[in-house]
Structure 1
């Protein structure tokens, strides 16, 4: 079986800014790539869903099949797993997420916010960007490099401000 990768995603909403972000790593912590992008002002759940959707699209496009997904929004997991959930504002996004998940061998689980600092940092960065960006290991934002290193040694609870 090919190695399992870890996808962490997040969304961020402030008064006039919103964004999403995520990071794809090997289970041992080595970064494969990260992404971030802006959103129009929206509800937090929409930003969280968009962060997940973008990450799933990237996984599908790059042929990553075995994925462990971690999100810090328990509501997101409940929405994805509940086939009876209906909310017109996010119906099509949820459908796209479920379609993308159907092509993967995945596990989705909740992680506390303190364990999701890399994705959180990217979502905040995304809220300030003009367009979606993808980062590889050579062009990761400096603050993200530091957070990845802290995450590897188990100090992920230190939050970037």
Structure 2
């Protein structure tokens, strides 16, 4: 989340909507909850970054609705460390993006 917000800022975005499939994390950020652990510094960084945008919203999304991000995260295990910026979507991501574009839904069982 922090790296994504930094990238948005560097690219000059002024209005951002971020989605995350961790409801607890979304609540910690949006409800100004304070964890009693090392996550407090990360949470503070995220809130500070969000405040730098004209508009920045963090929304919860079910894992099934976050299939593209889940797919990209699975590629991270085989990618070199650090930030990767792709010029085009990897082959396996194309059908997911097409489904999103067409408004396809998935069942939550």
TM-score range, shorter chain: 0.7 to 0.9
- Give the Cα separation in 1 of the matches to 2:27 and 2:2: 15
- Does the 8 A contact of 2:15 with 2:56 survive in 1? yes
Q: Which residue of 1 aligns with 2:79?
A: 129
TM-score between both structures, scaled by the size of structure 2: 0.84
TM-score between both structures, scaled by the size of structure 1: 0.59
Deviations 1:9-62 (A, max 9, x none): xxxxxxxxxxxxxxxxxxxxxxxxxxxxxxxxxxxxxxxxxxx11110110110
Q: Unmatched 5+ residue regions in structure 1?
A: 1-51
Q: Indicate the structure (1 or 2) with the bigger Cα radius of gyration.
A: 2
RMSD of Structure 2 on Structure 1 (CA)? 1.7
Runs of 4+ in 1 over 6 A off after TM superposition: none
- Give the Cα separation in 1 of the matches to 2:51 and 2:25: 17
Change (3 A) 1:149 1:83: same
Higher strand fraction (1 or 2): 1
Q: Unmatched 5+ residue regions in structure 2?
A: none
Check if 1:146 corresponds to 2:92: no
- Give the Cα separation in 1 of the matches to 2:90 and 2:106: 19
Check if 1:90 corresponds to 2:90: no
